[in-house]
Each structure stands twice: as structure tokens, then as C-alpha cells.
Amino acid sequence: MANGSMDRRAFSEPPEQHGGNGNGMGHSAEYTGRYVVVLDPRDQESGLNALRSSAGIAPVERVRGAAAANVTELLERPDVSVLFENLSVAVVEVPPDKRFALVTTAEAESSILAAEPERWVYASPITAPQQAPTDFYPAYRSDEDVVARHSLAETAVSLGPALDEQSVTWGLQVIRANVSGMSGRGVKVAVLDTGVDTDHPDLVGCVEETASFVPGQTVEDAHGHGTHCIGTVAGPADPRQGPRYGVACDARILAGKVLANNGRGPDGGILAGIEWAIARGAKVISLSLGARVLPGAIFPQTYEMLAGVALEMGTVIVAAAGNSSLRPGLVSPVERPANCPSILAVGSLDKAMRMAHDSCGGINGEGGEVNIAAPGVSVRSAAPGGGYATMSGTSMATPHVAGVLALLAEANPDASAADLKAMLLAGALPLTHPVRDVGAGLLQAP
């Protein structure tokens, strides 16, 4: 048996197709009706043959590397299954009466490592009114005593001064990106989101390549989420209109549109984006997206295995922890796929180093922890149409982390992806908040 009880649990929810309500905020998972299957990379064909004979999957089209940029139409066809060869993962079409056969085959066939229903994933939305922002932030000094105390909100207020965002956003100030000697020069960061405003005056210089994995939609961002995230990663040192808001001003952006203009996309498009980004040399993949999970749920084996493959191929995946909490009364579990052990999960802080009221926490144990926290409330960045917008959420915290990983990659060109992860967490500033909420602490630039 290749998978055991974990897959049984993954299949325990009914994999019927749901249209969804467009915001992903219901507790029930929303499925596309297809399945994601991870195959043994040394023996992909045995697994596919088993699924053909027992589950009647649709004929398989193989896609490899950068060719994934052209896979959108294939993923839409009900008569085709798609195998991403580098990742060794397939998105398969299965007749409704053969779904149980797919489950039993996945459990019995040793060359099938994992299989799960494909889900819809969302740009992480804010679910409740935001907390009123504070006018103060922790003052930064070099002596350890102050550093040790500055994580307390009370200390932050007493240390003031009032936040000045005339030249640099508060987020860049608290992670010290504005005083880093690094700029991310030459490091590729893939932002898989709702696309990008390719004509934005601040971003035309940093977007190196684009691809849309959304049927019928170009990479242009009619939503705004993707453009905002890309701006936080790599907005320029001297934007057309201040303050500076980009962490790694000289990083190169691979903009993959995996969420439609309504902020929704299936796992298959995200997997295609990951295959494409790795092939194009991304050192970091930033995922400001997710799907809710219930308390006690386990992480998805499919994404965990993909994240492990990505690390081996030199790419760190970072993802938003999710915004479904209603603090202080309710702390919801870290969402999918950030709840995978090999993916960095990012929590959200406000200007006073308080947890964002909606930031999810590590309450689901193995793999479901928050790894690090970053600025995520009232974050200013680029917006479609050449302008600017202020947004909040773990979606906004995540690209801060992606940007700092680019800085670390520039400073340590020979470091492996695992080394970069370790350095990022080791450099975080410990906070007094529960580890459940902030992991290693506040993100810090090298």
C-alpha cells in the first residue's frame, strides 16, 4: 500500500464538483471534480497504467518545465489528464463511477505516492473589519536589551516616535529592508497570483516574464491582489510616487496568473505555475492564496511532496497562513497549502506588532504551524492602473518574506534552498507572542 490512512482521510470528504460562492469562506471544501495524483518519479508510467486500467482516467498529456506556460487549454479539457513531468504530479479526469476505484488503486499501487481531490483555492480575503492601525511602531536599536523588549506592543508605544511613512513604508522599516545592503539583484521570485499590471510604471522594470494559467484571461490583473503582492516583493527604490514599498528592489519577477480575476483558481493551475516557475529559475515562489481547513485536518500530501521536490531543485515556497481567524475569540488553523511542513507559512502583524485579528494560527499540529510573521496590516503597494493601494492580510505579509528570501539569496549565492529557509528563520526577531501565531518571530532582512 502506497498511501495508507492519510489518503483515506483526504478522500473522506465528498469530491463532488462545487461551483462555490466565489469567496471561499465556507467551511466545506470546494472541489473541481478532478484529482491530483503524485507519482513515483522513477516509475511514473506504472502508476498511470494502473489508473488507466482500473479508474478509466482520461488520456494523459505530458508537460515539462517551461512548456507548462501553455497548458491552460489542456487543463480545461474533460477528455485529457495532464502530467507535469518534473514535479511527477498529474491532474486526472475520472468518471464519477470510477472515483472509488481511483482511491483503492492509489492505496494498492506502490508507484502512486499520494492522491487527493483537486480543490479551488482563493486569494486570501479579509473576512472582518480591520483593527484600527496604531500610530506607533517599535524603535530599532542595536543593543540587545532594547531588541528584546521591542516586541511588546506596550514598549513599542512608549518608544515611539509616530510612524513616518514619507519615504519608506512601515513594513519595510520594521523588517529593516530599508537598511539592508542587499537588493535581491538578479534573484528570480515567482509570484503566482491574480497576475500583474504589466504597464505599471513602477513594475515594468522588474517583471521579467509572465504567463497566464487561467483559461480565457491574459496575465493582466483585473483583481489587484497580484499587482500588490509583486510590488511588495520588488517595487523600485524610487517609486513614481513615494514611499518606497518594495523589499528587494532589484529582484526579477516571474508573474504567473493562477487565480482568475475573481480571485479563484484550481490546484491544477497552481501546479502548472510551480512547474513553470522552477523551470524558469525561481529561487522563491510566493503564494498569497489558500483554502480553509478544519481543526484537526492534516496537511495535503500532494503539496507537501511538491514542496519537497521544489526544495531539492533549489526553490523555496512561501505561503499565506490565511485570514479566517476572528481574534481574540477564534483562532482558525493555518490554511492549505501553507499547512505543509515544507512550505513556509506566514502570519500577519500590525504596526504595533500585534497579531492581525484575522491571522490564522498553528493549532493543527504537524505541519500546520506558522513559521514566521511579517507586516500584513495597512500595507501600501502597487495597484492596477498605475496607482497604489493599501491592503491587509497574510497575503500582504507573504511577499515581504519572499522579498527577504531574495535578499538572502543574493547575499549567499551558493546557499541551497534549505539553507535559505534556515537562515530566514534563524534571523527572525523573537516576539513575546505565542509561537502558535508568529513561529520564529518577526521577519528581518539580512
What does the pLDDT look like over 208-225, one tens digit per residue? Answer: 999 999 999 999 999 999
**Are the C-beta atoms of residues 264 and 220 closer than 8 Å to each other?**
no
Phi, psi of 385 (to 5 degrees): 95, 5
117 pLDDT above the threshold of 70 = yes
Full-model pTM: 0.88
**Are the C-beta atoms of residues 407 and 446 closer than 8 Å to each other?**
yes
Lowest mean pLDDT among 78-87, 152-161, 343-352, 374-383: 152-161
Ramachandran category for residue 314: left, alpha or beta (phi over 0 → left; psi -120 to 50 → alpha) = left
139 pLDDT above the threshold of 50 = no
pLDDT band with cut points at 50, 70 and 90 for residue 29:
low
Let me know if 357 is a catalytic residue.
no
CA distances, 298 to each of 2, 39, 365, 391 (Å): 17, 20, 8, 30
pLDDT band with cut points at 50, 70 and 90 for residue 9:
very low
* pLDDT value, residue 427: 96
Mapped onto helix, strand or coil, the DSSP state of residue 207 is strand
Q: Of the listed 81, 111, 286, 395, which one is catalytic? A: 395
pLDDT digits (tens, 9 = 90+) for 86-106: 999 999 999 989 989 999 999
State mean pLDDT over 27-42.
Answer: 84
% of the chain surpassing 90 pLDDT:
76
CA distance 32 to 17: 5
% of the chain surpassing 70 pLDDT:
85
pLDDT band with cut points at 50, 70 and 90 for residue 367:
confident
**Are the C-beta atoms of residues 279 and 309 closer than 8 Å to each other?**
no
Which one-letter DSSP state was computed for residue 285? E
Q: Of the listed 150, 200, 223, 225, which one is catalytic? A: 225
**Are the C-beta atoms of residues 371 and 344 closer than 8 Å to each other?**
yes
Query: Per-residue b/e over 108-126, b at no fewer than 16 CB within 10 Å?
Result: ebebbbbbbbbbbbbbbbb
* pLDDT value, residue 365: 79
pLDDT digits (tens, 9 = 90+) for 242-253: 899 999 999 999
Q: Of the listed 7, 193, 358, 437, which one is catalytic? A: 193
* pLDDT value, residue 145: 41
Average pLDDT, whole number, for the chain?
A: 87
* pLDDT value, residue 30: 81
Let me know if 212 is a catalytic residue.
no
282 pLDDT above the threshold of 70 = yes
Helical residues (DSSP H) of 224-374, grouped into ranges: 225-234, 267-279, 301-312
Let me know if 193 is a catalytic residue.
yes
141 pLDDT above the threshold of 90 = no
* pLDDT value, residue 124: 65
291 pLDDT above the threshold of 60 = yes
Give the distance between the most distant pair of CA atoms in the chain: 69
